[in-house]
Structure 1
Amino acid sequence: MIRLRKIYAGLFLLTSLAANAQTYSLKQAVDYAIAHQVQVKNSQIDLQNASAKISEIKAMGLPQVNGSLALTNNIVLQRAFIPAKIFNPAAADGELIAAKFGVDNSGFASVGLSQLVFDGTYLLGLKASSVYKDLAVKSVTQSKQQVAENVTKAYYGILVNEKRQGLLALNVARLDTLLKETRELNKQGFVEKIDVQRLDVQANNLRTELENIERLQALSYSLLKFQMGFPMEEPIRLSESLEKVELATFNTNAAGDFNYANRIEYSILQTQENLAELDLKSIKAGYLPRLVLNANYGYNAGANAFSDLITKQWFDNAAVTVALQIPIFDGFSKKYKAVQSANNLQKVRQSYSLLKSSIDLQRSQASITMKNALESMKEQKANLDLANEISRVTRVKYQQGVGSNLEVLNAESSIKESQANYFTALYNALVAKVELEKANGTLYID
């Protein structure tokens, strides 16, 4: 009885904590996880990086403006060697003069503008960056689906344990009542002491099992919090029950119409194919001429004294250049890059058949697993109902003095075993439901 009081005290404490806890339906739990799970947050950061990458590539096509300012002190001027006859006709043939050209101090200031007019690889790079962003968006979706799957399984695990915990508590209460009645019968001399002891052992075993389930339930809540990205120290409560989960009417037919694009893996492969195609086109576009416009405007000055650079006049200069860069020979570098890119594209395209076969297999397996799980759950439920009826009849017979104590204990053991089998089958069916939704690409995400 002391252990039973501890169990009920623990249940009361959990109930008190749950009263102040936040309540979540399955959808709300998934939504919370999508908003707080690190896995999703990281994929969203990758999406932000993809957007920034697009802007970076676009910036390459915008005017590039640079300014420069340089003040130079020529500590030792370099000399140029010229024939001496230029300045002195009487100089000997071959005589050279080491002459200084330039000034001791010079200054230069300019502003330059460069504008890319045409570059085939740049245009394809813009397209590829948009496709890359699309890939990042799909990666976010894939992360959300994985989080939704994990949260759903953890949520269902708590619901199943909660139901099992309730039934075990009823088992304990029923056995305690029977134990109390048997003790009274023993005092009156109608049953032997060993009958009381057998029931006492059975009751203790049930209480131990109930305590184990309670600890497992606490662990299940921790798992759900982890999958949701929910603070571990805060209490949480679930608003749904197993009765709300539709299993019997769940469609297990894997032969119906199915769009492979519903699976995020297939959609990601399509995007990877687009990227591979653009990569090959970009390499081939490297053979096209590149047109660049450059403009420069600046000032320069020279003086023997460094301070004169500030006071003396600076002279301006300007230039505009249109450069057409024509690739002629690169040692076959682009040729071999194109071969590698074409091979990568072929690998991606060959992956379609493998992915389709894999998806078909997953859908078939998930459908069969779901059908088997539903059938097993149905059979175990029938066994549980039968075990309950046998227990009821056995107890009536025992109370009327026409049944044995061992029959009652065997019936109680059968109930416990049937309950364990039923809840195992029920959880397997719920997991199979999630796996089938995942295989069909219909698993819920916001």
Structure 2
Amino acid sequence: MEYLLKKAGKPIKPKKQSTFELFVMKKYLLLIFAFLTISFGGTAQEVLPLTLKESLSYSLQNNVNVKNAQLETLISKATVKETTATGLPQITGSFGLNYNPSIPVVFLPNEPPFGDPSIPGDVIPARFGLSYSSNLGANLTQMIFDGSFFVGLRAAKTYRQLTDLDLVKTENDVIESVKKAYFGVLVNQERIRLSQANLARIDTLLNETRALNEAGFAEKIDVSRIQVQRNNTYSQLERSLTALEVSKQILKIQMGMPMEYDVELTETLLELNPREELDALLLEEGIERVEVSQLQTNLELTHLDLKNNQAQYMPTIDFVANAQRAGAGNSMDAVFNKQNWFGSSLLGVSMSIPIFDGLSKSARIQKNRIQMMQLENQKFFLNENIKNEIYTAKTNLKNDLTILEVQQENLDLAQEVYDIAKIKYNEGVGSNLEVVEADAALIEAEINYLSALYDGLVAKVDLEKALGLLKINNLN
């Protein structure tokens, strides 16, 4: 009926809805709104459980620096192909079509036997050429001898080796950063767990003391003292929660993981710090560091640059070939008439002999030799520095293991002191102050123990890096 009224051009009166229909419509709209809120507004981050090895594998595939280093190796491969191509035949084609609106004039002497007595003057103007001309040709050049080519080819391959070493160095740096960031997250998780346990413990003590105060068996100062301790513990928990989120973001950045994901680490600090593995690492002698290989490769590249400059004193020899056809006519049709086209060709050898360049090659050779001396000095310093790094890393790890044992013992003693103080307080033979002091000492011992555990893991990473075993130990 409404459709017929519209077609007739008559206005449609809105149909009055009942109260029940309005109620149903409102309920329906509320349900739709709630569904949209849950579907779009309440979407949580996707949580990815990760082990240390999984984190390292992910980072070596997604970290931006690693990706760029991998692309650099592809560039070096293309550079080798580019250098090789210069020694292959170079073929070019050419085509030209010319129109002369005014044909150039050539002047000839007006003398016998070409002279014309009817033309006054000493010269005879003559036009040589046609209005239209065209040519089609091909040129070939093949290098026969060029000392720089062979040196450049070796240099391109050596540069490819350098980019491979740069990739290994970048991967080592990423592994180091991801491991330390991973340990940072674990430490903050452990701090949160301990802070929550401490908060629950002190809340229980606070409730008990309040009850005793209300019953007249404890003073108000006892409640206030515990409340202060409770507030400090709560503040520590809040700082740990914030530090955890920040450390997770740092870990995701190091891994190359998008920020919309959340991570959940499935290992503990103790699982990643077995004592037998640390003792075995202290006995390792290590392998050649990638930094040494990089420096050696740079030294080789400089030596090849020296050879390249020396090779430029030698002549270069090329084979050249040319084939061409040309045609001309006074009209466009005549130009492309095959009867007006003629061919020519050329075969030859060209030699270029350097004679004097203002001693520029000599200066470059001298510069190369000085650069090689600099690299040799850097190589010596790097080897000595690596020895010092290994010594320092081993010393730090030994020291951190000793401190860890002391802090473990200190934590056990602090727990024992707290338990005794709590028992004495509950039995009425100890003071509230003793319990608060014991709790504060226990919290400090927990923090010191976690710091020692984290320092031990970081010292282990530093020693693996110093020994050149960072990638080998963590990906096998």
Q: TM-score higher than 0.5 here?
A: yes
Partner of 1:236: 263
Partner amino acid, structure 1, of 2:68: N
* Residue 111 of structure 1: how far off its partner (Å): 1.2
For residue 416 of structure 1, the aligned residue among 427, 435, 443 is 443
Partner amino acid, structure 1, of 2:79: K
The worse-fitting range, judged by mean Cα deviation, of 300-309 and 223-232 is: 300-309
* Residue 89 of structure 1: how far off its partner (Å): 8.1
Distance 1:402 1:342, change over 3 A: same
Q: Distance in 2 between matches of 1:293 and 1:166?
A: 79
Instruction: Note if 1:257 corresponds to 2:285.
Output: yes
SS at match of 1:242: coil
Please tell me whether the aligned partners of residues 273 and 457 of structure 2 are also in contact (alpha carbons under 8 angstroms): no
Query: Percent sequence identity over matched residues?
Result: 37
What RMSD in Å do the two structures reach over aligned CA positions? 2.3
Question: How do residues 398-437 of structure 1 correspond to structure 2 at under 5 angstroms?
Answer: 398-437=425-464
Q: Distance in 2 between matches of 1:251 and 1:111?
A: 73
Partner of 2:177: 150
TM-score, L = length of structure 1: 0.90
Please tell me whether the aligned partners of residues 160 and 423 of structure 1 are also in contact (alpha carbons under 8 angstroms): yes
Q: Distance in 2 between matches of 1:254 and 1:185?
A: 55
Partner of 1:282: 308
Distance 1:364 1:247, change over 3 A: farther
Distance 1:280 1:360, change over 3 A: same
SS at match of 2:336: helix
Q: Distance in 1 between matches of 2:358 and 2:207?
A: 96
Q: Distance in 1 between matches of 2:182 and 2:217?
A: 49
Please tell me whether the aligned partners of residues 252 and 367 of structure 1 are also in contact (alpha carbons under 8 angstroms): no
For residue 146 of structure 2, the aligned residue among 98, 119, 138 is 119
TM-score, L = length of structure 2: 0.85
Q: Distance in 1 between matches of 2:107 and 2:360?
A: 44
Q: Distance in 2 between matches of 1:364 and 1:102?
A: 87
Residues 291-345 of structure 1 deviation map (CA, whole Å, 9 limit, x = unaligned): 2111111211122223310225211111111222222332322222211122222
Question: How do residues 35-114 of structure 1 correspond to structure 2 at under 5 angstroms?
Answer: 35-85=61-111, 86-88=113-115, 95-114=122-141
Question: How do residues 378-393 of structure 1 correspond to structure 2 at under 5 angstroms?
Answer: 378-393=405-420
SS at match of 1:21: strand
Please tell me whether the aligned partners of residues 73 and 306 of structure 1 are also in contact (alpha carbons under 8 angstroms): no
Please tell me whether the aligned partners of residues 55 and 255 of structure 2 are also in contact (alpha carbons under 8 angstroms): yes
Please tell me whether the aligned partners of residues 17 and 235 of structure 1 are also in contact (alpha carbons under 8 angstroms): no
Distance 1:288 1:321, change over 3 A: same
Number of aligned residues: 428
Q: Distance in 2 between matches of 1:257 and 1:362?
A: 12
Structure with larger Rg: 2
Distance 1:337 1:77, change over 3 A: farther
For residue 32 of structure 1, the aligned residue among 58, 80, 101 is 58
Partner of 2:319: 293
Question: How do residues 306-321 of structure 1 correspond to structure 2 at under 5 angstroms?
Answer: 306-313=332-339, 314-321=341-348
For residue 266 of structure 1, the aligned residue among 292, 304, 322 is 292
Partner of 2:5: none
Please tell me whether the aligned partners of residues 143 and 319 of structure 2 are also in contact (alpha carbons under 8 angstroms): yes
Distance 1:135 1:169, change over 3 A: same
Q: Please list every run of 5 or more consecutive structure 1 residues that lacks an aligned counterpart in the other structure.
A: 1-15
Partner of 1:3: none
Instruction: Note if 1:175 corresponds to 2:202.
Output: yes
Q: Distance in 1 between matches of 2:370 and 2:125?
A: 63
The worse-fitting range, judged by mean Cα deviation, of 308-317 and 245-254 is: 245-254
Q: Distance in 1 between matches of 2:102 and 2:290?
A: 70
The worse-fitting range, judged by mean Cα deviation, of 415-424 and 387-396 is: 415-424
Please tell me whether the aligned partners of residues 149 and 443 of structure 1 are also in contact (alpha carbons under 8 angstroms): yes
